[in-house]
Amino acid sequence: MSQDDPKTLVSTGWLAQHLKDPDLRILDASWYLPDAGRDPRAEYDAAHIPGARFFDMDDISDQRSDLPHMAPPVEKFMSRLRAMGVGDGHQVVVYDGAGLFSAARVWWLFRLMGQDNIAVLDGGLPKWQAEGREVEDMPPVVRDRHMTVRRQNSLVKDVTQVSAASKLQDTEIIDARSAARFRGDAPEPREGLRAGHIPGSKNVHYASLLNDDGTMKDPDALRRVFEDAGVDLSKPAITTCGSGVTAAILSLAMERMGKTDHALYDGSWSEWGMFPGLPIETGPVATGDT
């Protein structure tokens, strides 16, 4: 697979070359954990890639749920994107201010909604700015555009499905959190959650899939990371993390590798760790501590 694939990942050079394309739409999907002390909307207002719209992941979510930024209802997704001027026939490129972090979640969300003409900007805004490329502080001119949505339910799993996969061991459950959180040695950033991991799951910390400059490793290197963590890539996969954000980095990596039988556990540890009736494992495991 080439570096530039408008359905998964594109380089800063590719985006610069296509920046003036009439059917290109760029989304700034920056989002940070509360302890990062960063305001993504304020950063967007100060400087963004020319023409970028701000995608508010917490707003474009299912706010009926007590869990953070769960996938929104189809109607809400359609209306929000239409108001942003993003719709049918557009090639979308999504980036974030961390390099490659929350943008993957929005890539997965578009895929969930049946939109596959979307790619993540490899290295994100930090790489774009490090290369001295143009940014602006002006809001884009937006014209409504209809979007046809066909939700792909196979790309998302709920707690019941994940519990069944954990018991049957017929699917690899892959956790993107740090090894310390996976083992239960470090406290969860969200109050009230137990520490540990879903029984039988494997640990692939999302950062292990990235190069030092925040870009994603090549497909062969990605495959080695998963295999070194004890993941059987011949099985279907479910990705999980703290709240369904970095799990999408694992999903994007598998898609880059050509593995398409993967889904994301949207509730992730925010849900599993909350309910005392769900089993957990702690401590080191034979494989998977990356």
- Evaluated on CA atoms 207, 208, 209, 210, the torsion sign reads positive
3-state DSSP call for residue 265? strand
Which tokens sit at 89? Answer: 């026939």
Please confirm, yes or no, whether 241 is among the known catalytic residues: yes
Catalytic residue among 241, 245, 252, 253: 241
- d(CA 86, CA 149) in angstroms, rounded, equals 12
Cα three-residue angle 83-89-93, rounded to 5 degrees: 75
Rounded CA gap, 89 and 236, in Å? 31
Counting beta carbons within 10 angstroms of the beta carbon of residue 207, is it exposed (0 to 12), middle (13 to 18) or buried (19 or more)? middle
231's tokens? 């993941």
**C-alpha torsion sign, points 80, 101, 19, 135:** positive
Q: In whole angstroms, what is the distance from residue 162 CA to residue 209 CA?
A: 23
| Contact (Cβ atoms closer than 8 angstroms) between residue 53 and residue 142 | yes
202: which strand partners? 174
Quick one: 185 exposed, middle or buried, by C-beta within 10 A (0-12, 13-18, 19+)?
middle
B/e letters for 68-82, b = 16+ CB within 10 Å, e = fewer, are bbbbbeeeebbebbe
- The residues that are catalytic are 241
